[in-house]
Amino acid sequence: MRPSLVWFRQDLRLADNPALQAAVDRGEPIIPIYIWSPEEEEGWAPGGASQWWLHGSLKALAADLETLGSRLVLRSGRALPALQKLARQTGAGAVFWNRRYEPAAVERDRQVEQALAADGLEAKSFKGSVLWEPWEIATQAGTPYKVFTPFYNACLRAGLGGEPLMRPSALPAPESWPDSEPLSELDLEPQRDWTDGIRKEWTPGEDSARETLRRFLRGGLGKYSRDRDVPSVLGTAQVSPHLCFGEISPRQAWVATGESGGEAWKRQLVWREFGRHLLFHFPRTADEPLRPEFVRFPWKDDPAALQLWQKGQTGYPIVDAGMRQLWETGWMHNRVRMIVASFLVKDLMIPWQEGARWFWDTLVDADLANNTLGWQWTAGCGADAAPYFRVLNPMSQGQKFDPKGKYVRRWVPELESLSAKDIHEPWNATDAVLKRASVELGKDYPYPIVDHAEARTAALDAYGQLRGDTRTRR
Ligand SMILES: Cc1cc2nc3c(=O)[nH]c(=O)nc-3n(C[C@H](O)[C@H](O)[C@H](O)COP(=O)(O)OP(=O)(O)OC[C@H]3O[C@@H](n4cnc5c(N)ncnc54)[C@H](O)[C@@H]3O)c2cc1C
């Protein structure tokens, strides 16, 4: 009996898990393992909020495995020596895992596969975290896509190719279990507990992922096209951290919407695929712009402004609401992500990489592919990016997507008594109105840190020069 090792990574679930299924099909005892190896992530080790989530998700996975008569073996350190040691200790004959697409993981997995095969083990990886492998979708010329709509159409043409796999009903245990490090020793939970708001909002784990998706399909899917851009309404699935940690697979999410309907939502799942496609084919884009001319962009080094943005103290209510939602709950509505990101890179002209880093540390759904895609898209330096002259106006975005000011009131309570008309630009309210609402600008709530109209002109000039274009679109 030579057990199979199943190496869990961003697929912390039992259902629709091809690596786990391969081990079940092999018919030998199964040893599920997780290896905490942040040093192998090349500067993108999970941030604070993700670590909190990972702790909860590993705990949930371990409990789920126990219901199947199994266990989760935890190790820390570099993956290859950890796997080799476990294989020696247990006499394992095979190691199975689901693929990841971040550059550091791709390279590491290639080395792991070669080394384990050289050790005489069956080492095999599977498609468990995407609907289409990045190399399965290509243009007619055989090149990667850089524009979303043709990518989307190519995905639809390729078809889904199969139903999600069932959750195994039992997992054969080995005669003896290898040692496991206690979860607490991975130190994933913060020393100083700042997670109160996050804990109220989220429950990591496969059961919670399934329930979140079920709730959305019952109540939200039909209204998604209408409500998805309204941050005060729970109009999106809020399933992103569950997808990020693989507590639910994109295939399960796609298939659960049924044969017809849900097109607008499934399109978002394809954006997720597009993110992986781009990061796999353009692996430097997590740190560098896809469009090389942007290396010359005259970004500003302004740590004071960056800090005000991070703290939600820019004086632009919709921006501050988003940044405070992020800090408090580890998540931010997509429309507001676009607004705060545009404000950072265009109004403040601070490098998109600074914003991406802050999101990386604070989001529970921090995902290298989606985060890179979102930031490069906003900055105008990525694939299929927003045109460089598109500078989101925080006042009109607020008025359009939060017309009653409900979202701002929730996250910027010092402005709660202002009317829907004034709440998105309090500096234009009369003194009497501000007084009635108990708002003293500069004391209770800051004045805007930049003048949006002037900042927009400066950004457009800089973008125009980058393109060797003396015209600007004012
Ligand atoms: C600057 C910026 C940074 C972002 N960083 C991340 C990130 O680190 N992690 C992350 O998961 N998403 C990121 N996004 C994309 C998007 O904001 C989130 O996926 C979405 O808000 C998650 O909420 P939801 O699950 O309710 O989404 P829904 O609208 O219900 O969509 C369902 C799923 O589709 C995928 N999806 C939706 N929108 C996008 C998108 N624009 N790009 C790629 N996939 C998408 C997500 O996996 C999401 O969970 C970012 C967007 C921007 C503009």
- The string of DSSP letters for 228-291 reads TT-TTS--S---HHHHHTTSS-HHHHHHHT-SSS-HHHHHHHHHHHHHHHHHHHSGGGGTS-SS
Q: Which of 252, 281, 310 is the last residue of a domain?
A: 281
In a domain, 42, yes or no: yes
Q: What is the pLDDT of residue 473?
A: 41
Q: Is the confidence at residue 474, as pLDDT, over 90?
A: no
**Residues 446 and 301 placed together within one structural domain of the fold:** yes
> Among 214, 240, 251, which is best to mutate for testing ligand 1, by the most ligand atoms less than 8 A from CB?
240
Range scoring the smallest mean pLDDT among 189-193, 212-216, 263-267: 189-193
**Residues 239 and 90 placed together within one structural domain of the fold:** no
Tell me how far the alpha carbon of residue 213 lies from the centroid of ligand 1, in angstroms. Answer: 15
Tell me how far the alpha carbon of residue 341 lies from the centroid of ligand 1, in angstroms. Answer: 13
**Residues 138 and 103 placed together within one structural domain of the fold:** no
Q: What is the mean pLDDT of residues 101-116?
A: 97
Q: Is the confidence at residue 470, as pLDDT, over 50?
A: no
Residue 250 backbone class (left: φ over 0; alpha: ψ -120 to 50; beta: rest)? alpha
How far is it, in rounded angstroms, from Cα 13 to Cα 18? 11
> Among 370, 384, 397, which is best to mutate for testing ligand 1, by the most ligand atoms less than 8 A from CB?
370
Q: Give the pLDDT band of residue 345 (cuts 50, 70, 90).
A: very high
**Residues 325 and 383 placed together within one structural domain of the fold:** yes
Closest atom, ligand 1, to C-alpha of 365: 9
In a domain, 185, yes or no: no
Tell me how far the alpha carbon of residue 356 lies from the centroid of ligand 1, in angstroms. Answer: 13
**Residues 105 and 148 placed together within one structural domain of the fold:** no
Q: What is the pLDDT of residue 469?
A: 52
User: Which residue's CA lies nearest to atom 5 of ligand 1?
Assistant: 371
Q: Token digits for 37?
A: 């190896």
Q: Give the pLDDT band of residue 258 (cuts 50, 70, 90).
A: confident
**Residues 298 and 373 placed together within one structural domain of the fold:** yes
**Residues 370 and 394 placed together within one structural domain of the fold:** yes
Is 348 in contact with 391 (CB distance < 8 Å)?
Answer: no
User: Which residue's CA lies nearest to atom 26 of ligand 1?
Assistant: 238
Q: Is the confidence at residue 193, as pLDDT, over 90?
A: no
Tell me how far the alpha carbon of residue 130 lies from the centroid of ligand 1, in angstroms. Answer: 15
Is 235 in contact with 227 (CB distance < 8 Å)?
Answer: yes
Residue 99 backbone dihedrals phi, psi, to 5 degrees: -70, 150
Q: Is the confidence at residue 254, as pLDDT, over 50?
A: yes
**Residues 41 and 54 placed together within one structural domain of the fold:** yes
Q: Which of 258, 281, 304 is the last residue of a domain?
A: 281
In a domain, 257, yes or no: yes
- List beta partners, residue 125: 97
**Residues 327 and 458 placed together within one structural domain of the fold:** yes
Q: The domain spanning residue 249 has which CATH number? A: 1.25.40.80
Q: What is the pLDDT of residue 192?
A: 86
Q: What is the mean pLDDT of residues 375-397?
A: 88
Higher pLDDT, 269 or 387: 269
In a domain, 307, yes or no: yes
Closest atom, ligand 1, to C-alpha of 274: 43
Q: What is the mean pLDDT of residues 286-310?
A: 95
Residue with tokens 């040692």: 179
Tell me how far the alpha carbon of residue 150 lies from the centroid of ligand 1, in angstroms. Answer: 20
In a domain, 196, yes or no: no
In a domain, 326, yes or no: yes
Tell me how far the alpha carbon of residue 308 lies from the centroid of ligand 1, in angstroms. Answer: 24
Q: Average per-residue pLDDT in the chain?
A: 95
* pLDDT 10s digits, 28-75: 999 999 999 999 998 999 999 999 999 999 999 999 999 999 999 999
Q: The domain spanning residue 442 has which CATH number? A: 1.10.579.10
**Residues 403 and 427 placed together within one structural domain of the fold:** yes
Q: The domain spanning residue 21 has which CATH number? A: 3.40.50.620
Q: What is the pLDDT of residue 189?
A: 93
Q: What is the mean pLDDT of residues 406-413?
A: 98
The DSSP secondary-structure symbol of 72 reads: -
Contact residues of ligand 1, CB 6 A cut-off: 228, 236-240, 243-244, 268-269, 271-272, 275, 334, 337-338, 341, 359, 363, 365-367, 370-371, 373-375, 378
Q: Which of 281, 304, 331 is the last residue of a domain?
A: 281
Q: What angle do CA 67, 167, 56 make, to 5 degrees?
A: 55
Q: What is the pLDDT of residue 471?
A: 42
**Residues 421 and 338 placed together within one structural domain of the fold:** yes
Tell me how far the alpha carbon of residue 267 lies from the centroid of ligand 1, in angstroms. Answer: 11
Q: What is the pLDDT of residue 161?
A: 82
Of 33, 11, 21, 8, the C-alpha closest to 129 is: 11
> Among 129, 216, 224, 268, which is best to mutate for testing ligand 1, by the most ligand atoms less than 8 A from CB?
268
Q: Is the confidence at residue 465, as pLDDT, over 80?
A: yes
**Residues 80 and 158 placed together within one structural domain of the fold:** no
In a domain, 304, yes or no: yes
> Among 248, 365, 376, which is best to mutate for testing ligand 1, by the most ligand atoms less than 8 A from CB?
365
Range scoring the smallest mean pLDDT among 11-25, 264-278, 284-298: 284-298
Question: Domains in the chain: how many in total?
Answer: 3
Tell me how far the alpha carbon of residue 339 lies from the centroid of ligand 1, in angstroms. Answer: 14
How many other CB atoms are found less than 10 A from the CB of residue 156? Answer: 13
Range of 15's domain?
A: 4-128
Q: Give the pLDDT band of residue 1 (cuts 50, 70, 90).
A: confident
Listed in sequence order, the residues at least 6 apart from 396 whose beta carbon sits closer than 8 Å to its beta carbon are: none
In a domain, 176, yes or no: no
